[in-house]
A and B are shown apart, each in its own frame.
Chain A
Amino acid sequence: MTASEQAGDTKGIVHGTLRLKTGLAEMLKGGVIMDVTTAEQAKIAEDAGAVAVMALERVPADIRKSGGVARMADPAKIREIMEAVSIPVMAKCRIGHFVEAQILEALGVDYVDESEVLTPADEEHHIDKFRFKVPFVCGARDLGEALRRIAEGAALIRTKGEAGTGNVVEAVRHIRRINRQIRELRVMGDEELVSAAKQLGAPLELVRLVAREGKLPVPNFAAGGIATPADAALMMQLGAEAVFVGSGIFKSEDPPKRAAAIVQAVTHYDNPDVLARISEGLGEPMRGVDVHALEEQELLQTRGW
């Protein structure tokens, strides 16, 4: 019997509903989710005010450098991080690798990121996320990709950006594209929505829902290349509801200070006076790479469809 069943009447108690899955994302809004590779980094992130941590073996910048096949982290590593902090812990599985996802669910992680940062295990299918009680976050570069992931059961969407670069340009491109595509749907007639659904490669019912509501049916966060408080505030002003920071914190000169500053930047994203104050004297940000200097096969964002 679970703790919730002990609490009261066992009848009518349900777990794993979409409302509970998106509900946790609602609680993360206005917050920063930080990539960490050790219990010590997880503590630094929590002390800086992170709303959650992403438990990883290596941050994306190092995955990019080392090459080879990038897989789910060692469960011992994930457990160590879960024991170190009281905030939610997320972990990544490979695209389409539903057994890695089953393992992460069994470990009790709070969110699974079906992530293009790891090497895909299936180039045709993403995971059927409705089969899980644990909620999933998935990356998207445009509205069609976001709606396909939602159709598979994703409870949270994030921009893909270009992870591990410290360069926000791709995340900006992705959120602007999604915003523009949503605005375009808003003014379409019913017959045009059918055609738009075909072009987007997304289910018509979800396309109609977005046209009516003017937003995605699940929360929409930013990720990929965010390295400074100003980057984080930029994504928030462009409409992101929270921010993932991967390599940007622990690849910088002063991680605790930068982490705390990015947390404040996401809260006060529309207050330039506060942003100016918290951006002062943070030390060197991560070095970063120009996305245009990357070869096509080095891009992570083109993984998945």
Chain B
Amino acid sequence: MEIGVLALQGDFAAHGRRLEQLGASWRRVRMPEDLRGIAGLIIPGGESTTLLKLLARTGLEEPIRQLVRDGIPVFGTCAGLILLAQRVLSPQQPSLGLLDVTVERNAYGRQIDSFEAFGTWLAGATPQPLELVFIRAPRIRAVGPGVRILARLGEEIVAVEQGPVLGATFHPELSQDVTVHQYFLQRCANAAGVASPA
């Protein structure tokens, strides 16, 4: 089982290091042909405006939508979530529209407002604390009826899933906590019908 990490721009190497730490193999995705045969795709943090342009110029938008139609898990963190969302605010911008959420960009402020905190992971057998790193982070302002909440910070929703699509407003790849990547790898293994390496 091999995971693809979108490597057009952003902290794709940090996701790669986390996948290696969990015993999963991964490849960089820069062209549509790089998607062939992957068991899951991670869209990393970065600048969503930059990623949008590079996705369009490399012709990756439609092949990523097809992955989701085929039931292959796709996980976006921060900018990755913004690309997956159906509605993006401040400012409005186009997106892949694969996750029924409304996301507001840079919603906590600028870099000096970036922060670390502990939230709650809700997708396990019992709720557990989860280390969260937010960098110029977006906020999920609304979720559609088919969306399951995976993590919260206080009352606020910070991670969600809908079918094979997962999204987080924070950066699990920059924290010490492997919970979120472990969960994603399990989803990929289930979809591929194999055992998870994690």
- B69-94 with Cβ < 8 A to chain A: 78-79, 90-91
Q: Is the CB of B112 within 8 A of A26?
A: no
Contacting residues, chain A, for B171 (C-beta < 8 A): 23
CA distance A4 to B136 in the complex (A): 11
Contact with A along B152-189 (1 / 0, CB 8 A): 11111000000000000001001000000000000000
Contact with B along A256-298 (1 / 0, CB 8 A): 0000100110111001000000000000000000000000000
- B1-53 with Cβ < 8 A to chain A: 7-14, 30, 45-47, 49-50, 53
Closest Cβ–Cβ distance, residue A174 to chain B (whole Å): 22
Known: A4-B113, A20-B115. A29 touches B155 (CB 8 A): no
List the count of A-B residue pairs having beta carbons below 8 Å apart. Answer: 148
Closest Cβ–Cβ distance, residue B159 to chain A (whole Å): 14
CA distance A16 to B134 in the complex (A): 11
Contacting residues, chain B, for A152 (C-beta < 8 A): none
Stretch of A44-52, A163-171, A206-214 with 4 or more beta carbons under 8 angstroms from chain B = A44-52
Please count how many residues in chain A sit with their CB below 8 Å of the partner chain's CB atoms. 46
Contacting residues, chain A, for B54 (C-beta < 8 A): 49, 263-264, 267
**Category for how many chain B residues contact A:** 35 or more
Closest Cβ–Cβ distance, residue B166 to chain A (whole Å): 19
Chain A CB within 10 Å, residue with most, of B9, B57, B110, B171: B9
Q: Is the CB of A15 within 8 A of B117?
A: no
Residue in A14, A49, A133 whose CB lies within 8 Å of B50: A49
Contacting residues, chain B, for A109 (C-beta < 8 A): 110-111
Q: Is the CB of A86 within 8 A of B134?
A: no
B interface residues with partner A (beta carbon < 8 Å): 7-14, 30, 45-47, 49-50, 53-54, 57-58, 78-79, 90-91, 105-119, 133-136, 139, 152-156, 171, 174
A interface residues with partner B (beta carbon < 8 Å): 2-4, 7-9, 12-17, 19-20, 23-24, 26-31, 46, 48-52, 86-88, 105, 108-111, 133-135, 260, 263-264, 266-268, 271
Given A88-B110, A267-B9, 15 other A-B residues pairs in contact with their CB atoms under 8 A: A7-B154, A7-B155, A24-B111, A27-B78, A29-B11, A29-B13, A31-B47, A48-B53, A51-B9, A52-B47, A88-B111, A105-B112, A111-B111, A263-B50, A267-B30
